Amino acid sequence: MKKAKSPDDYFKKLDQWGPELRKLREIINATELVEEIKWGMPCYTFNGKNVVGVCGFKSHFGLWFYQGALLKDEKKILINAQEGKTKAMRQWRMTSAADIKPQIIKRYLKESIALARDGKEIKPARKKPLAMPPELENALSKNKRAATAFEKLTPGLKREYADYIAEAKRADTKERRIKKIMPMIAKGAGLNDKYR
């Protein structure tokens, strides 16, 4: 699906999970949350803070609670889709319209809004040292323009590039990724700028 420019645009273009996602939208829009588009998908905010998002995939659709780890989760339905990486976000995956439980969803939303109102959140670790993969260091040493631009990037953007290379398991994958990112670095762009 092409990236949506507005919530209406997103919900209009749905080809899979359309009725289900529209039902979730209806439940969320009955709250005080503000509906926006972020990263091409609906995101619901409170005082500018991300609270919950909705999205559909091939085998499931659901809700993403940005501070889900702080929720009581009495029904034990929330999962961490990226164990070891994601600290705060939790997903509520659904595979049919029967999985949509409006009263339970409203309770989770109410609790999420209360957390946002109280300013409670799990903040990402910021002071993680930059671990430069040797392949990226080597490529930067051969490209002065990219090396200069890399030094001007924020610590977070530098870390995105370093992690992107370090996460590749095979040498040929690392090499392909290096070729892809060097022009981006030289322009002073971040790895994920197109999603921001």
What pLDDT score was predicted for residue 92?
A: 96
At 132-191, the pLDDT tens digits run 999 999 999 999 999 999 999 988 899 899 999 999 999 999 999 999 999 999 999 888
At 32-91, the pLDDT tens digits run 999 999 888 899 999 999 999 998 889 999 999 999 999 999 999 999 987 777 889 999
At 6-48, the pLDDT tens digits run 899 889 888 889 999 999 999 999 999 999 998 888 999 999 9
Closest CA to 107 of 60, 69, 64, 75: 75
Q: Which two tokens stand for residue 154?
A: 């924020």
Q: Which amino acid is at 52?
A: V
**Class assignment of domain 7-117?**
alpha beta
Cα–Cα distance for residue pair 72/143, rounded to 1 Å:
51
What pLDDT score was predicted for residue 31?
A: 97
What pLDDT score was predicted for residue 118?
A: 95
What pLDDT score was predicted for residue 190?
A: 87
Question: Is the predicted pLDDT of residue 127 greater than 70, yes or no?
Answer: no
Domain residue ranges in the chain:
7-117, 134-195
Q: Bridge partners of 42?
A: 37
Average pLDDT over residues 96-117: 96
What pLDDT score was predicted for residue 195?
A: 63
Distances (CA, A) of 26 to 92, 100, 146: 17, 12, 47
What pLDDT score was predicted for residue 126?
A: 64
